[in-house]
Structure 1
Amino acid sequence: MEEQVDRLVQKAWDKFQNTPKSKRLMIACSGIPGSGKTTLAAKVASRLNDLWHHGSPGLASDPGVAIFLPMDGYHLTRAQLSAMPDPNTAHARRGAAFTFDAPAFLALVKKLREPICPETGTVYAPSFDHAVKDPVPDDIPIATEARIIVFEGNYLSLGKGAPEWKEAAELMDELWFVDVEMDVARQRLIKRHVESGIASTEEEAANRADMNDLINGKDIIDGRLEVHEMVYSKEDREWQPEEQAIDKDRD
């Protein structure tokens, strides 16, 4: 896995060198739940910043040129789910594509796609508060200096369903998809749900994985657009998905 990460970092860095200063390099990293996409996106952003600091040593407070941007903050709120025609299903399926605010995510992508000029200010994206189980508006600052955006989320290469997902994907410079065997993803999800406290037993965790996460996973695979890079996730000591410890779709 580390060899794949190194290659993608170098690819992104080389592409950034040819990106005009008025533009951002925008990379979308997607995959099914439990694939390891969070780990990949976070590692790539971190290593790109290492390259930036190595080539342009400056203030220790310099945050770097790359930012890792998860789409967790675009979950619909619990109140919005409750207002749906079938609130029970909406809450049970939280994490499915229809439980995200796709138009708002597309609006962010379009904003970041605009040319950077002297008047450009900081753009803000929402985060997700796992304690209150709802998004936090305008919680992630994206400064003008952040010229490499590494997005992460389940539906960033989705071509079916809400048209906003497809339009957002087409605005990206790179689409990366983390491929994983369903059985591997399932075991990771079971472990994650138990460790995060969303499930009290492995049986309960397996039921959640089978009845929600992996159903979403099938939709993600079936509706995937053609991507620039396929990254293959497997169980090894070098690749321990950070998202195992976080239930991003927790209701």
Structure 2
Amino acid sequence: MPTPSIDALVARVVGLLDDRPRIVVGIAGAPGSGKSSLARKLTRRLETAGVPAVQVPMDGFHLADVTLDALGLRHRKGAIETFDAHGYVALLRRLLDVPQHAVHAPGFERRLEQPVAAAVTVPPTTRVVVTEGNYLLDAHDPWPEARALMAEVWYVELDENRRRSRLVERHVASGKNRAAAQAWVDDVDEPNAQRVRDRRERADLVIATD
């Protein structure tokens, strides 16, 4: 199947809106596959098309390092159990149930590798919330609740060598030496990626990224 153009994706989202005041569109994929880049591009193009849109990352629900240390999970950061999944579901529900109020959502600072409270504002005029994250298609509770709140979830994939190389560079940029970055990709990111890939067929659309 040919990869849809960004214009085709925008048209698809507009078709999903129908007469609903607001929808959430999810973008899933393995770590480093290009989810955030596609979410930013889609959000910008929706805005250009006159459809108010805001990007709300699942990464804002990363547990902070201090919490991961308390739970003994710092070495697993990025695994499914290192996110506040119930908090994420509650935010999605709030975004859909009370669109008449501004909602302040957490963001994620990539340089610090930490969540940032109230970093994203979703104003009442927002028609589309674009959210991206690894586990949007996961079967483990409560992720199916999150999936049920989304109009569609798309899956993005990238050539595996490029994806892994991109992850190594991301970890180096955040302060790891290259050997430690490679080890983290092999030992932590890859098991997470396999879990995500196992749910690929549940997506409404598969998109190849570059």
TM-score of the two chains, using structure 1 as the length reference: 0.77
Structure number with larger C-alpha Rg? 1
The structural deviation recorded for 1:212 is 1.1
State the partner residue of 1:193: 171
**CA separation of 1:182 and 1:150: change in aligned 2, threshold 3 A:** same
State the partner residue of 1:167: 145
Is 1:125 the counterpart of 2:125 in the alignment?
no
The structural deviation recorded for 1:181 is 3.3
Q: SS state of the match for residue 127, structure 1? A: strand
State the partner residue of 2:191: 215
Number of residues of Structure 1 aligned to a counterpart in Structure 2: 209
The structural deviation recorded for 1:224 is 4.7
The structural deviation recorded for 1:129 is 3.6
Alpha-carbon separation, structure 1, partners of 2:4 and 2:201: 25
Give, as a single letter, the amino acid of the residue that structure 2 aligns with 1:217.
A
Alpha-carbon separation, structure 2, partners of 1:115 and 1:80: 30
Instruction: String of CA shifts for 1:21-71, please: whole Å, max 9, x gaps.
Output: xx212100010011011111110010000010xxxxxxxxxxx61011112
Mapped contact 2:59–2:108 kept (Cα < 8 A) = yes
**CA separation of 1:130 and 1:40: change in aligned 2, threshold 3 A:** closer
Alpha-carbon separation, structure 1, partners of 2:147 and 2:47: 24
Residue 42 of structure 2: which of 18, 34, 44 is its match?
44
State the partner residue of 1:12: 13
State the partner residue of 1:242: none
The structural deviation recorded for 1:223 is 3.9
Instruction: String of CA shifts for 1:1-24, please: whole Å, max 9, x gaps.
Output: 9853222112112333x233xx21
Is 1:92 the counterpart of 2:75 in the alignment?
yes
Stretches of structure 2 lacking an aligned partner (at least 5 in a row) = none
Alpha-carbon separation, structure 2, partners of 1:13 and 1:223: 26
Q: SS state of the match for residue 137, structure 2? A: coil
Alpha-carbon separation, structure 2, partners of 1:198 and 1:178: 27
Alpha-carbon separation, structure 2, partners of 1:177 and 1:130: 22
The structural deviation recorded for 1:200 is 2.2
Residue 154 of structure 2: which of 176, 182, 192 is its match?
176
Alpha-carbon separation, structure 1, partners of 2:78 and 2:187: 12
Alpha-carbon separation, structure 1, partners of 2:180 and 2:97: 45
Give, as a single letter, the amino acid of the residue that structure 1 aligns with 2:53.
A
CA RMSD of aligned residues (A): 2.0
Q: SS state of the match for residue 79, structure 1? A: helix
**CA separation of 1:208 and 1:156: change in aligned 2, threshold 3 A:** same
Is 1:78 the counterpart of 2:55 in the alignment?
no
Give, as a single letter, the amino acid of the residue that structure 1 aligns with 2:120.
I
Mapped contact 2:104–2:120 kept (Cα < 8 A) = yes
State the partner residue of 1:105: 88
Mapped contact 2:104–2:119 kept (Cα < 8 A) = yes
Residue 229 of structure 1: which of 198, 205, 209 is its match?
205
Alpha-carbon separation, structure 1, partners of 2:98 and 2:47: 22
Among all aligned residue pairs of Structure 1 and Structure 2, give the percentage whose two residues are the same amino acid: 32
